Structure 1
């Protein structure tokens, strides 16, 4: 087992209509906030009006910043930083899924910083302060509501980068499973893939003597696969949605991975695809993770054999994983998204950054990444 630090300071407020009391959770922190969200969806669902009512009841002023899109953009983050500074704001409420939460975190890092917030995503500098962030989660999957991560895309060169810091951990997160009823089924299914991919990235590790976390991750993977099948039959079942929502949070809050080195190669490869083609992250992971497994199985089969046996109770867990993704009505090849090979070398170089290799379960070089992308084109072994 590896040495580790673990911090979990987010207060989880879970249950029906809890978001309607958001004002009382913000009040101890601030009387003026930035209200950050995607667009019209929360207004159509009535969430926006309920939030505004609660803010007014608690005498909290707010400044709106809508417009977050999947693969959140640096330009909007900079707009948010300016709004916070101009309006003397010291708290951000994120209403949305991973993209909104990540954008809010990036804004919170940029406000107290004299330089360019991108410095934290490029590795040029490290944060030493941030604004406080609260969350009303609307789309489960990314797990950003309790994590230390923020992922942002810089439009000028389509670079997608992550900043991991404890300053990103939200103060509170409100989770109401009823919100899932109004989410398009496709988005929920992409979220389920995202949950599973967070678990798999941690599971495929070179670290030994991790029996507890191995068992926790295997159980979590079996659970989310079972929940995915149940969700398709009963998308408005409160308890199914509740378990999916909580699974997403637990999968990415760090606790389940303590003492082990995670891989993250599949995520880095997918980030380049979604940056270039604006693909939903979960949809991209449904393509890349099986392709990665097929490739590394030739180089290090041990954990994949255990994965097959303990998660799917079969001899070919990769095929079972693809079958599960297909059952969610997701595609498993890049070709089905009309993505061609001409950008593979570019994506491989971008995924590596300044490194010669990436990954931990198997070290991958540029040629390895291109090979994985070629497998992802047609799904062949």
Structure 2
């Protein structure tokens, strides 16, 4: 295990009816004029948005709204939010929704105090030093953005989907997490969230760093819990216990707990970002296609941890043939994805003829000659993985 610094200052307020504490928490963290950021559909139809506004009104907290955030959030809404925030003098951001809404709010939070173009942060031209504080009312367990210092935005000009990762600056001050708010999520959205949180764990699990006994067991145990609860929630969408376990799993999958002391990978995420940027597919569904292909490639290039994953997570019997173990683990992962309604090939994702040349080109233009750390992947290697996803 390597030296590490772990900082997770977010206050998690978890359980039934906890959204009623939103205004109290905004006050606790010094918010006096709030920008509520949301997508539109479910938070409006469910009445949650009106509830949040009512809580703020009753507490005497002024607020403005920025709605219409779409999945795979793009830069125009960020620019709109920065302009609105500056004009209205907001001092606190309150995203109500899932990862896309939270990531947009984080980009706005960095952009308001910055004199240049917020996209400078995503292009690694500038390291963010200031941000407006934010709190979260979570409605979709998936991205883990409610507990991370990360944000992902797509710039429409050039379809560049890039991330900013901070140690602590962009971590929300609080996250309100009521599993009941997820009861009405469509099965597809629930499954995409499950896939996303599993991928967040696996990006940390597949490492060459030695002596990761505690993080490894945390990763494996959390993955097994997600698998169990995902199958349960597909049959019983209003099972509170299953929804609660999945909601908390999404948070710990991405708040850094599972990856302490390790050199993480992230190649699969980078490869999927190009897919969802070009084809506008749901991020979790794209990961369900890319990750099994990445694992298949790794079975021939760095099999050790993949065989361990197959045994510990998918109960593949131990064998001297590590590659066979690894590939059986991939088969069981694909079967699970199919069981929850996820695609595992480009064709199943709805992309009949993916432009692999374009995906490889954009990936390495955005991320450099090599991506990933478990095995350093050049353009030839990433092309092979994209081709495996197309079989």
TM-score (normalizing by structure 2): 0.95
Counterpart mapping for 1:204-243 below 5 A? 204-243=206-245
2:76: which partner in 1?
Answer: 75
Aligned match of 1:370: 383
- CA distance, structure 1, for counterparts of residue 367 and residue 288 of structure 2: 27
In the alignment, structure 1 residue 127 sits paired with structure 2 residue 139: no
Question: Contact 2:198 / 2:226 at 8 angstroms: preserved in 1?
Answer: yes
CA contact (8 A) 1:341 1:374 kept: no
- For residue 16 of structure 1, what is the aligned residue in structure 2? 16
Rounded to whole Å, the distance in 2 between the matches of 1:274 and 1:195 is 17
Kept in 1: contact 2:268–2:287 (CA 8 A): yes
RMSD (Å), alpha carbons: 1.0
**In terms of mean alpha carbon deviation, does 101-110 or 345-354 score higher?**
345-354
Cα distance between partner residues in 1 of 2:213 and 2:360:
33
Matches within 5 A, 1:1-381: 1-28=1-28, 29-165=30-166, 166-314=168-316, 315=325, 316-341=328-353, 343-352=355-364, 353=366, 355-378=368-391
Q: How far is the alpha carbon of 1:338 from its aligned partner?
A: 3.7
CA distance in 2, matches of 1:182, 1:342: 33
SS at match of 1:132: coil
- 1:21 Cα deviation (Å)? 2.3
CA distance in 1: counterparts of 2:52 and 2:70, whole angstroms: 21
Partner residue in 1 for 2:319: none
Q: Secondary structure of 1:182's partner?
A: coil
C-alpha distance in structure 2 between counterparts of 1:241 and 1:214, whole Å: 24
- Unmatched runs of 5 consecutive residues or more in structure 1: none
Mapped to 1, the partners of 2:352 and 2:246 lie a distance apart of: 34
Deviation at 1:115, TM superposition (A): 0.4
Whole-angstrom CA distance in 1 between matches of 2:230 and 2:21: 30
What SS class does the counterpart of residue 161 from structure 2 fall into? strand
Which segments of 5 or more consecutive residues in structure 2 lack a partner in the other structure?
A: 317-324
Q: Name the stretch that deviates more: 181-190 or 346-355.
A: 346-355
Alpha-carbon displacement from aligned partner over 1:76-135 (angstroms, at most 9, x marks no partner): 001000000000111000000000000000000000000000000000001110000110
> Displacement, 1:183?
0.9
- The CA distance in 2 between the partners of 1:233 and 1:342, in whole Å, is 33
Q: Deviation per CA, 1:172-205, whole angstroms, max 9, x where unpaired? A: 0000000111111110111001111111111110
Distance 1:20 1:33 in 2: 16
Q: Are the structure 2 counterparts of residues 331 and 354 from structure 1 closer, same or farther at C-alpha, using a change threshold of 3 Å? A: closer
Supply the distance in 2 between the matched residues of 1:282 and 1:342 (Cα, whole angstroms).
Answer: 18
Deviation at 1:242, TM superposition (A): 0.3
Confirm or deny: 8 A CA contact 2:274 2:359 kept in the other structure: yes
Cα distance in 1 for residues equivalent to 2:156 and 2:347: 24
Give yes or no for contact 2:38–2:67 (8 Å, CA) kept in 1: yes
Q: Which contiguous aligned blocks of 4+ residues in structure 1 show a shift greater than 6 angstroms?
A: none
Contact kept? 1:177, 1:242, Cα under 8 Å: yes
- Separation of aligned partners in 1, 2:197 and 2:339: 16
Q: Distance in 2 between matches of 1:233 and 1:41?
A: 21
How many pairs align? 378
CA distance in structure 2 between the partners assigned to 1:119 and 1:244 by the alignment: 34
